[in-house]
Amino acid sequence: MKLKSFLSSILLSFTTIFLLISLPHSVSANQYNHTGFLQCLSFRLNDSNIVSKVIHTPNDSSFSSVLSLSIQNPRFSTPGTPKPVLILTPVQPSHVQSAVKCARRFGIHIRTRSGGHDYEGLSYATHKPFVILDLTNLRSITIDVDNRSVWVQTGATIGELYYELGKKNNTLAFPAGVCPTVGVGGHFSGGGYGTLLRKHGLAADHVIDARVVDARGRVLERREMGEDFFWAIRGGGGSSFCVVLSWKIGLVDVPSTVTVFNVTEFEEQSALKVIHRWQFVSDKVSDDLFVRVMLQRYKNLVRASFPGLYLGSVKSLLELVNREFPELGLEEKDCKEMSWIESVVWFAELGDVPIDALGKRTRASLAFKAKSDFVQEPIPETSISNMWRRLQEPEAERAQLIFTPFGGKMSEIGEYETPFPHREGNMYEIQYLNYWRGGGGEEKEKYMRWVERVYDEMSEFVARFPRGAYINLRDLDLGMYVGGKRSKYEEGKSWGVKYFKNNFERLVRVKTSVDPFDFFCDEQSIPPFSSVEVM
C-alpha cells in the first residue's frame, strides 16, 4: 500500500508538472499565479486520473472540444474571442470547492458555465485571464414523486429535467423555459419562464432549497446560507454570489391532457387586428391559457404566428377562445391534444420525435443578438405595423420578435418576493432577436444594428423609469464595468435597476455580506458597496 501511494504521488507530481508546462506562454504565471493555482488544485484533487479528467489546458487535445461544447452563441466562438487559460470540469461537488478555495487563494478569475446560454457569452468569455468552471458533469436528477420535489444538479439542462419528469409521471410538471438545451444553473438563478408562467409563475418561484459553494469555499444549503442569500440566487443571477451546485424544486400539477395550437397570419392588416386584440386579452384571460405572438419571416414573407398551450381539452379551449378571443380565428384543425411532456417537445420545435429528444445536447448554429422590454399599456397598431415593415428589411431575414404574455400567477406574486421584479402591471414581455450565420466580423454589425433600431423605436411604448430588461436575456448594451472614478456600485446601478428595479439595492446588500471582496464577478455582476475594482 505504501509503494502504491508513493507511486501515485510520483505520478501526480509528473501530471502537475506537465500541466504547468502546458500553460500558455502569453500569460504571465507570476502575474496571475496560475502556477500556484494548478499546484493547489492538483494537491487537493490528489489523484492523477481525476486531475486529467478535471483540468484541461490549451495544449490538451480535448481543450477545443470541451470549450466549444457549450458555446450556444457562435458570436463568441471566433478566432478573436478571448480563450480561458484553463477549463475545469468537476466530476463531484468537492472539486468545485477545491477550485474556489484555490482560485481565491491565488487570485484567479473564474467564470462558471452550466449550459452556455448566457446571451452575451459571459460564462465562457472575458477580456482578462480567466478559468472556466464548467459544470456539465454535475447533472444528476433525483425525483421524489411522493413529495413532489426534485434535486437537480446545476449542469443538467431543462430538457434533461423535463425528460426525467416525463418518464416518471404525466401529471407533474415544472414551469421553466421552452429551449431544452438551457442549463438549469443560469436559468433558475435568473428567474426562468416558459409556457406555464401564467398558471404557475417562474422557475425561481418554485425553488425550495439549494446547495451552493460560497466565496469562502463552504458548501451551504438554505438553512446555513440564510434567507437573504437564498432570496438573491432565485432571480438575481447566482453567478454574482456563489457557485450553485444543485437546486431543490417543487413540482406543479398539470392535467393528463393538454392542448397545443398554432394560428398563422401572412396578411398584415389581419395580423394587426389579432395582435391588437391579443394585447387586451392575453394577460387577463384564464391562466390555463398561454398564447404567444411571434413575428418573423417565412419564405421571404412576414408571418405572425400565435402558438399556444391550454391546460385542458380542445373542446373547452374552443369554448374559451370563441368567448374571450374570437379574433384569433382558432379552429379545431389548429389544435392537438397531448400530454404535457409532449407539449414540451412541440414547443421546442423538435418535430415528431420521442420525448428522449429533450435530453440531447446540441449546439446552436446561428449567432445572435437580443434585447428585451416589458409592456404595460397596449402598443398602437402603427407601431406594430412599423415592426412588420422592419421585418421586411434584408438584414431581418432570420429576425424574430416574440411577445410573451404575463398576468395570472405572475401578477399574484409580489415584485419583492424574488429579485425578478417585473410582475403586476406588466402585460407582456418583448424579445427582439436577430440571427446570422458566422460568428463575428463586420458582417455581424448590420444584424446587431437592426436589433438596436427596432429597440430604439419602441422606447416610448414600453415600461420606463426605468426601462426594464430581463437578466436571462442579458444585454451588454445597457452598460458594463469600465472602471475609472466611479465605484462599481455606481456603475452597476445604471443597468442593475433595469434588471431588478428596487430589488437591486437588496441584492447589493446581500453581495456585500456574502462576497465583500467581489470574488464572483463579471461585466454585469451585482457589486458590493465597497468595491472599486476595475473589471
pLDDT in tens, 468-483: 999 999 999 999 999 8
pLDDT band, residue 357 (cuts 50/70/90): very high
Residue type present at position 209? D
What's the mean pLDDT when you consider all of the chain?
A: 92
pLDDT in tens, 88-137: 999 999 999 999 999 999 999 999 999 999 999 999 999 999 999 999 99
Q: Where in the chain is the domain with CATH 3.30.43.10?
A: 33-132
* Residue-level pLDDT at 364: 84
Is the per-residue pLDDT at 430 higher than 70? Answer: yes
Angle, alpha carbons 465-467-472 (nearest 5°): 140
Is the per-residue pLDDT at 7 higher than 60? Answer: no
The Cα 438–Cα 529 span in angstroms is: 40
Query: H or E element: which one contains 113?
Result: strand 110-113
* Residue-level pLDDT at 535: 39
* Residue-level pLDDT at 363: 83
* Residue-level pLDDT at 50: 87
Higher pLDDT, 9 or 400: 400
Q: Please state the three-class secondary structure of 348-403 as a single string.
A: CCCCCCCHHHHHCCCCCCCEEEEEEEEECCCCCHHHHHHHHHHCCCHHHCCCEEEE
Domain 33-132 listed as CATH 3.30.43.10: yes
Q: Is 184 exposed, middle or buried (CB count within 10 Å of its CB: 0-12, 13-18, 19+)?
A: buried
pLDDT band, residue 521 (cuts 50/70/90): very high
Q: Backbone dihedral region of 401: left (phi > 0), alpha (psi from -120 to 50 degrees) or beta?
A: beta
pLDDT band, residue 239 (cuts 50/70/90): very high
Angle, alpha carbons 144-149-155 (nearest 5°): 95
Is the per-residue pLDDT at 15 higher than 60? Answer: no
The alpha-carbon radius of gyration of the chain (Å, integer) is 24
Q: Please state the three-class secondary structure of 36-102 as a single string.
A: HHHHHHHHHHCCHHHHHHHEECCCCCCHHHHHHCCCCCHHHCCCCCCCCCEEECCCCHHHHHHHHHH
Is the per-residue pLDDT at 410 higher than 70? Answer: yes
The angle, 0 to 180 degrees and rounded to 10, between the axes of the packed helices 2-21 and 34-45 is 150
* Residue-level pLDDT at 483: 83
Higher pLDDT, 7 or 170: 170
DSSP 207: E
**β-pairing, 86-88 with 131-134?**
parallel
Domain topology for 139-251: 3.30.465
pLDDT in tens, 135-153: 999 999 999 999 999 999 9
Q: Where in the chain is the domain with CATH 3.30.465.10?
A: 139-251
Q: Among 186, 189, 203, 188, which residue's Cα sits nearest to residue 119?
A: 186
Q: Is the dihedral of CA 173, 179, 180, 186 positive or negative?
A: negative
Domain topology for 256-336+364-456: Vanillyl-alcohol Oxidase; Chain A, domain 3 (3.40.462)
* Residue-level pLDDT at 510: 98
Higher pLDDT, 391 or 440: 391
pLDDT band, residue 486 (cuts 50/70/90): confident
Q: Where in the chain is the domain with CATH 3.40.462.20?
A: 256-336+364-456
Is the per-residue pLDDT at 6 higher than 60? Answer: no
